Each structure stands twice: as structure tokens, then as C-alpha cells.
């Protein structure tokens, strides 16, 4: 049998290096793949929106339809506002669409928030907070949108329903006017929409 020639020995020596590196790599891969593992996970993640809903008990009827108002006349009316929202939020009250036809500075209102009573009657109403008496003009300037709304009420997000009652007391004031100025108010009027708005927090 012939001994390997010099050329053969050289080829064997050159190929031995790469084979050794490959074998070493395989050993390392097998060694690293044999590690202990463990994991935990939080499954079923999902996002959906809630809902907001706000109603009142006026049955589509305006709280105030007062005609033939005379100086010094006064009155009150209540309305219950109910949230059936699944999200918590804040309800605010404000005035819009002021129809200034001469009485906007003379109808003085005192808005309050509380519990008890309702649109049919204010009997049982208990006040929790109130604005100072101000003219419709002043209140419409002070609270004309949600950002400037008044008598805020924080809801909890009870879809079964949660309520607050608002009472508005009004007076036809002619304080500081002389007889001529009072007489000039005849045939005048004022109108406004009262809005309760809920926004989520």
C-alpha cells in the first residue's frame, strides 16, 4: 500500500481546519439549544369603546313658557338629567341661542344643582350648589359652551343610570329703573336654550 504523497497530505491538512470549525460550531449550537426555558403571557387583550347617553324628564316640553310677565314676578322649575353612560365623565350646564328681545338684562335666574324633585314638581328638591342670581344675558356670556359650562356633575359611568336635578328660579327684575324705563319694557321678550352636555374624562 502506498503512503500518501506530499500533495495528498497538504490537501488533508488544509481541509482539516474548516471541518474542525464546522464541528465546533455544531457542538456550540447543540449546547445552546439545550437551555431551560419558561414563559408567561397575558391573553385575550382587546379594546372597545364605551358609550355616553344623557336624557332629561321634560318630555319635549320647554321648562318656561311664561307669558304676560309683570315686574317683580318670579317662579321656579326643576328638571332631572340622567346619565346612562358606561363611561365616567362630567356633565355641565350652559345656555345657547339667546334671543335677546329687550328682557335679557331683566330676567334674573338662579340655577342650582341637587337631588329630588323633577320636571313635574320641585317638591323634595335639595340644593347642593348654586350660581349667584344673574341676568340671562350675564349667564349666557359666562356659560356659552361646554368649556365654560357651570354646575359640573361628575358621573361614575353607571349604565343603569345616575341622575341630578337642576332647579332654575327666575325673577322679572326692574330694580334701578324709573317708571319710564319700566314702561319701555312692555312688549319685550327673551328666550334661550338650556343645554346639559356630558363629556368623558
Topology of domain 54-200 in CATH is: Immunoglobulin-like (2.60.40)
Query: In this predicted model, what pLDDT tens digit does every residue of 69-88 receive, in sequence order?
Result: 999 999 999 999 999 999 99
pTM listed for this prediction: 0.77
Going from N- to C-terminal start, the domains of the chain cover: 1-33, 54-200
Burial 85-123 (b: 16+ CB within 10 A, else e): bebbbebbbbbeebeeeebbebbbbbbbbbeebbbeebe
- CB count, 10 Å around CB of 39? 4
d(CA 170, CA 192): 13
Average pLDDT, the chain: 84
Task: Summarize the confidence of residues 47-54 as an average pLDDT.
Answer: 76
pLDDT of residue 22: 45
Query: In this predicted model, what pLDDT tens digit does every residue of 155-192 receive, in sequence order?
Result: 999 889 999 999 999 999 999 999 999 999 999 999 99
Amino acid at each position: 500500500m502506498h503512503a500518501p504523497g506530499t500533495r495528498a497530505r497538504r490537501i488533508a491538512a488544509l481541509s482539516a481546519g474548516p471541518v474542525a470549525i464546522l464541528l465546533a460550531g455544531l457542538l456550540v449550537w447543540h449546547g445552546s439549544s439545550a437551555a431551560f426555558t419558561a414563559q408567561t403571557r397575558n391573553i385575550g387583550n382587546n379594546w372597545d369603546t364605551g358609550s355616553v347617553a344623557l336624557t332629561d324628564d321634560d318630555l319635549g316640553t320647554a321648562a318656561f313658557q311664561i307669558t304676560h310677565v309683570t315686574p317683580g314676578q318670579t317662579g321656579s322649575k326643576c328638571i332631572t338629567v340622567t346619565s346612562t353612560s358606561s363611561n365616567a365623565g362630567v356633565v355641565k350646564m350652559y345656555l345657547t341661542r339667546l334671543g335677546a328681545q329687550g328682557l335679557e338684562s331683566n330676567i334674573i335666574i338662579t340655577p342650582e344643582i341637587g337631588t329630588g324633585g323633577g320636571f313635574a314638581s320641585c317638591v323634595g328638591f335639595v340644593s347642593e350648589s348654586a350660581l349667584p342670581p344673574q341676568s340671562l344675558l350675564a349667564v349666557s356670556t359666562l356659560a356659552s359652551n361646554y368649556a365654560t359650562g357651570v354646575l359640573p356633575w361628575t358621573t361614575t359611568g353607571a349604565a343603569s343610570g345616575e341622575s341630578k336635578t337642576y332647579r332654575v328660579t327666575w325673577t322679572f327684575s326692574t330694580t334701578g329703573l324709573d317708571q319710564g324705563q319700566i314702561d319701555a319694557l312692555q312688549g319685550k321678550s327673551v328666550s334661550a336654550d338650556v343645554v346639559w352636555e356630558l363629556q368623558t374624562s
